[in-house]
A and B are shown apart, each in its own frame.
Chain A
Amino acid sequence: MKRSRLILALATAAVLALSLIGCAGSQSGAPSNVLRLATAVDNDTFDPAQLAGGAKDNYWQAVYDTVLKLNYQTREPEPNLATQWSYNSEFTELTVKLRDDVFFSDGSKVTADAIKANAIALRDSAGSSAIMMANLVDVKVVDPTTAIYQLTAPDPAFLGYLTTVGGAIGNPKHLGSTDIATFPAGSGPYVLDRDRTVAGSNYVFVRNDQYWNKDDFPYDEITITPIVELSARVNALKSNQIDGAVFDPDARAELDASGMNVGAQAVDWRGLMLVDREGKKTPAMADVRVRQAINYALDKDSFLKNIQLGEGRATTQIFIPDDFGYVKALDNRYPYDPNKARQLLREAGYGGGFDLVMPAFDFRSGVQPVMVQQLADVGIRVKIEQVVPDQYNSVMKSGQYSAFWIQLTSGDAWRNVMKNLPADATWNGFKTETPELAGLIRAAQFAYGKDEEYKAAMAKISEYIVENAYFAPWYRVNSLFATNDTFSYTFTPWATTPELRTYRKGPGSQTDQPA
């Protein structure tokens, strides 16, 4: 009796174990035609007026259409909801002609009224992307398929905004309501499966059967799982629980060794902002030779190699390759040359050095003491002050420090200009402005639409700020993305994660984008 009980217990345990293993197997095996992604950050909101770009793009891309979409090769806008678009001669009115066969998930039609409602909601929101509609005066609805964006002045980044968060169109019936933050209402290729989604843990999107452009989205279902921990994302990809995710440079070797399809694209730059260009706080900083000396004093290649494991490219400019404003020759403007730095300081009358107060920035990499030492080697005595990490950005923007470390997204070139250079720019804490730079910015703004002229004008801005050492960038930093052999992908310009429509079934071979 005792023996038969034992056998029964063992048999039950064996069946349970086998069913568990089978269950694990069914989870890790790739379901057919489902794209399973992981992100490093959770989604905050589906409210179109509060959306943030960057790492959270894939969440809203599943459920919202954009007015235009980006051609990855040319970096020019292409038709999407809008089939045609044109500016007036002053580039202050953008007329868009919409498709008439696009419907929101509740069956109502996407019309020019929806375009207007979304643009106004974004402009008037306190969301992180409201800046995209900062120049918007109004949207004029001509007829159900024609809308005119009316701008205060030419905005060279505006068409680009319409390919991303600035052009995401939610159902106007739900805009402003609290439920749209958790239950998206759009016309996108997928709808959120509310029953299977657990906010913060797993988001399930199922195909919108009415979608007008299914060819761009060949998968029946998409799941997006926020996985904060890098090692957990690596394990999830290696064990075939997900098909793709964004990674840090630390994971490159392991992903390569596991045969994953790894690619990199540089989107952000890291380095110093030298914002006290009139010497209000640190008189020495008013002299361009001092700011140039700081650029010469720092060994950018060494930082890149030792801190960033070589994932990126040393630079002296804030613009990224293939974008307006990027001038390849400028990348070598300030090679590591401590002697040149000392000479410039002597010429500026600071041969004995000077004191520079900077905020503590090194929250994990270990580069801060190296930077302090290299500046000390040429005579710049850096005193580090502690700043609460989550108050870092606001303190830096307040004009409290003459120079500080930063990591910023380069993004669209014009947006990059506007957030860094004008007197009222977010990152111009000391509100410095020179007539010459203001003239260059204005020239670029009004050269918009004339490609060669605009390109040349943006290059002049870049040359001006590099020559006048407005910043001391160290390197453009790579963002890594990897998939298993089920899906391939294409990098989206200015973004750390590929757009949803770029994934294709089948193995691919991804190469790093030029950094």
Chain B
Amino acid sequence: MVIFIIKRLLIGTVLLLGVSTVTFLLIYSGGPDIAEQILGGDASPEDVAAKAAQLGLDRPLWQQYLSWLSGAVRGDFGVSWYTSQPVLTTIVQRLSVTLSLVLLAIALVTMFAVSVGVLAAVKRGWIDSALQFVSVLGLALPSFWIALVLVLVFAITLAWFPATGYVPFTASPTGWLASVILPVIALSIAASSATAQQVRSAVIGVLEQDYVRTLRARGLSARRVLWGHVLRNAAPPGLTVLSLQFISLVGGAVIIERVYAINGMGSLAVDSTLKSDIPIVVGVMVTMTVVVVVVNLLIDIVNGFINPKVRIAS
């Protein structure tokens, strides 16, 4: 297992280097137009040239890259070209917002998907049919539409929750919960539908295995078969789906963040890309890569603990 983790960490590091290099080269090659973008339409060519020089954009690309890389390996990703805030500070602020949304959403997805998915797989019949219907509906409804309906009903009409904004947990735990409930629900619906389907399929697949029939024949109770054997063996695909949902929620939270005016990683990525705040864009890409690597690693470790076959295979 330790070797497995070290291997995955090494692959992650190579991936990180590759993603950051490609991102840097692709977007930094924009050159002096970035300076023009920062200064606005009325800036003179002289001012644009001065700004480009100030940002170091007049240097060869390889020099800019080495300069960035030497800072990055020391944890210095530079400063935003617009706000002069350190990139790392900005990302930490924004990532904590998005992670609080996504972690809560994943908790909700897990609770719903596992309970409903297992129930549908075990009971089948009308419960299973109902799950199929709700899942298709949940996947079909666009998340931005759900978000807008939730705002209209629960924020504007009933005034139960704030329509926009994010309250840090440290500022007010109840304020934080109130500010994230609607976005978390909006985020969770499609993910819950997809995950519940996957859990259902995985559990049905295990239930149909010969060893489950053998366990039943030996007289083990249905509860023991389910909790002690079926769920353990159905866990890997379920966890994999959850990890994919987590990654996709982190990357896809931008729409929900926009609707609820929550300034998280998604908004940061879009805004900094639109205004060519390149140090932030590169920082966001690196951070997202780290998130993907870490989540995948964690899922592998959890899988290993739940299921001995995974440990042996690794």
Contact = CB atoms under 8 A, between A and B. Distances in A.
Interface of A: 16, 19-21, 23-25, 27-28, 38, 42-45, 47, 52, 126-128, 130-131, 178, 181-182, 198-202, 225-229, 231-233, 235-236, 238-239, 241, 388, 390-391, 393-394, 397, 408-409, 419, 426-427
A199 B93 CA distance: 9
A496 B118 CA distance: 56
B107 interface: no
Interface string B27-59: 000101101111111111101101100100000
B152 to A, nearest CB: 8
A20 B178 contact: yes
Given A19-B174, A43-B83, A393-B41, A25 B159 contact: yes
Nearest to A47: B84
The 4 closest A-B pairs by CB, nearest first: A181-B84, A239-B163, A126-B50, A232-B261
B42 A419 contact: yes
A131 B40 CA distance: 12
Contact of A225 (B30, B82, B258, B261): B261
A240 to B, nearest CB: 8
27 contacts: A19-B174, A20-B181, A24-B178, A27-B167, A27-B178, A42-B82, A45-B82, A52-B40, A126-B50, A126-B51, A128-B38, A128-B40, A131-B44, A198-B93, A198-B263, A225-B165, A225-B261, A229-B259, A232-B258, A233-B261, A235-B155, A236-B164, A239-B156, A239-B162, A241-B162, A394-B36, A426-B42
Contacts of A16: 174
Contacts of B45: 397, 426
A241 B164 contact: yes
Given A24-B161, A25-B159, A239-B163, A229 B172 contact: no
Nearest to A394: B36
Contacts of A38: 261
B33 A24 contact: no
B151 interface: yes
B84 A45 contact: yes
Nearest to A181: B84
Contacts, number: 159
A47 B84 CA distance: 10
Given A131-B44, A393-B36, A182 B178 contact: no
Given A128-B43, A200-B93, A238-B156, A228 B161 contact: no
Contacts of B93: 198-201
Contacts of B251: none
A427 B159 CA distance: 49
Given A27-B167, A181-B84, A199-B85, A239 B33 contact: no
Given A181-B84, A232-B259, A238-B156, 17 more contacts: A20-B160, A21-B160, A21-B161, A24-B160, A45-B83, A47-B84, A131-B42, A200-B93, A228-B267, A231-B148, A233-B261, A239-B162, A390-B30, A390-B276, A391-B33, A394-B36, A397-B45
A394 B163 CA distance: 39
In this complex, which of B159, B165, B179 has the most chain A Cβ atoms within 10 angstroms of its Cβ? B165
B168 interface: yes
A42 B160 contact: no
Interface string B250-278: 00000000111101000110010010100
Interface in B145-193: 148, 151, 155-156, 159-168, 172, 174-175, 177-179, 181
Contact of B260 (A52, A232, A408): A232
B307 interface: no
A200 B268 contact: yes
B90 A201 contact: no
A45 B93 CA distance: 18
A161 to B, nearest CB: 13
Contacts of A130: 47
B54 A126 contact: yes
Contacts of A226: 263
Contact of A236 (B79, B90, B163, B168): B163
